[in-house]
Amino acid sequence: MKIQENISLGQYTTFQIGGPARFFCNVTTEDELAQAVKFGKKNRLRFFILGGGSNVLISDEGYPGLVIKIELKGVEYKKKGSAVIVSAAAGELWDELVASAVERGLYGIENLSAIPGTVGAAPVQNIGAYGMDVSSSVYKVRAFDRKTMKYVELSNEECCFAYRDSLFLQDRRRYIITRVDFKLTTKGKVNIKYKDVAAYFASRKPPMSEPTLSDVRDAVIDIRWNKLPDWKKWGTAGSFFKNPLVSGRKFKQLQKKYPGIVGYPEPDGRVKVALGWVLDNICEVKGLCHDGAAVYEKQALVIVAKPGAKAGEVVNLAKELMKRVKEKTGIQITGEVEWVN
C-alpha cells in the first residue's frame, strides 16, 4: 500500500471540486486498511474515508489529514432458504450490485437503481429512493472499529438505521465499512407504490399493472434520468439537503399557510416535508445561482456546479437556500452532503 502526498481530491468526487489531500491512499484489502489506519495514528493525522465521492463537498483548501479511498472488491452469493445473502466488498459500485441482483431475479434493492457511489457508503446515510431504503435489505455490516482497532460485525439492529441516518453517522469516523451483507429474496414482490413509479407504469401504453423486477429497475433509471442531472457532465452530489421531519402540529400550521405543501407521515407521528416543493413553491428558488453554483432547474433539492466552480460558491448558495426556508417556514434544514475540510 502506497501513501501518496498532496493528491488533488476534486477528481475523486462527483462535484469535481476540492483541493489536495495532505496524504492519500487506496486500500484494496483489510490488511492494507489496518496499515493505513496505523500510519494515520502514528502520525496523529485526521482521517477521511472516501468511497465514490458522490455525497461530499471538499473544501477548496483540501484536507489536511489522511484520505483513505476504499477499493476493496468482490461479491459472493449464498443461498439461505428462499433468501440469498449477497456479500459485497465496500469498494464495489452500488449500481453494479443492483444490476447483478436484478439480473439474478433477487428482490430487495431494485428501487435503489442508479444511485452513484459504493456499497460501503450505502449504509452510512441509509440510502433511499422511490419508496425504499437500503436498511430494509442490510443483513450485517463488517467494519474496522477505530476505537478498539478490531474488525466487528454489526447486525441490522446494531446499525441503528433511520431516515438518512445510521450508527455510522451518529458515531462519525469510528467505523470503516469493509463489507456489507444484504438479504435478498427470489420470492419477492415489486414495490411500485411510490407516486412517480406508479405514475410511470400507469402512463405506459397499455398501462402496466404487473411489472417485473427488471421493469422496475428500468423505470427507476428512466425516471431518474429525466429528473436528475447527469453527474458525469455536471458537478453535483444529488440532493443537497435532507427532507426535514417536523411534528404533526407544525405540519398542520404549515398546511394552513401553504395549502399545497407535501408531507409524508412517519410511523413516529412526525411528517417528512417534501423540501423540493417548499423550495420551488414557497422559496421561489428556480433559476437561483451564485457564481458557478446553481439550483438544478428540474429539482430544487439538487445543487449543480459549473466546471471550475469553487466549493465556497456551492456553500454560499446552500446558505441562501437554508436562510430562505428558515424565513418562510421556521424550519432549520440540514445538509445531506458532507462538508469535508
Q: Does 182 participate in binding ligand FAD (rule CB under 6 A)?
A: no
Phi, psi dihedral angles at 198 (to 5 degrees) = -60, -45
How far, CA to CA in Å, does 74 sit from each of 88, 91, 107? Answer: 6, 8, 20
Query: Nearest Cα to 77, choosing from 156, 155, 181, 154?
Result: 181
The interface region with ligand FAD, picked from 209-217, 235-243, 310-318, 327-335 by CB under 6 A, is 235-243
The three cell numbers locating residue 66: 489522511
Among 68, 127, 69, smallest CA distance to 98 is for 127
**Applying CB under 6 A, does 276 fall inside the site for ligand FAD?**
no
Known catalytic membership, residue 164: yes
Of 113, 239, 270, 313, the active-site residue reads 239
Asked if residue 53 binds ligand FAD (CB under 6 A), the reply is yes
Distance between CA 265 and CA 248 in Å, rounded? 8
Measure the CA dihedral 88/221/169/175, to 10°. 10
Task: Find the part of the chain contacting ligand FAD (CB under 6 A) among 172-180, 269-277, 316-324, 326-334.
Answer: 172-180
Site string for ligand FAD, 13-32 (x = CB under 6 A): -x------------------
Contact window for ligand FAD (CB under 6 A) among 113-121, 181-189, 197-205, 253-261: 113-121
Among 83, 127, 273, 282, binds ligand FAD (CB under 6 A): 127
According to the binding rule CB under 6 A, does residue 124 interact with ligand FAD?
A: yes
Q: Are 295 and 286 in contact (CB under 8 A)?
A: yes
Residue closer to ligand FAD, measured from CB, 107 or 175: 175
Measured between alpha carbons, how far is 329 from 224 in angstroms, rounded to an integer?
A: 28
Calculate helix-pair angle for 94-103, 213-227, nearest 10 degrees.
Answer: 150
CA distance 82 to 58: 43
37, 67, 115, 167: residue in contact with ligand FAD (rule CB under 6 A): 115
Count the residues of the shown chain that bind ligand FAD, applying the rule CB under 6 A: 34
Residue numbers at the binding site for ligand FAD (CB under 6 A): 14, 48-56, 70, 90, 115-118, 120-122, 124-125, 127-129, 168, 175-177, 228, 231, 236-238, 338
- Could you give the residue numbers annotated as active site? 164, 239, 336
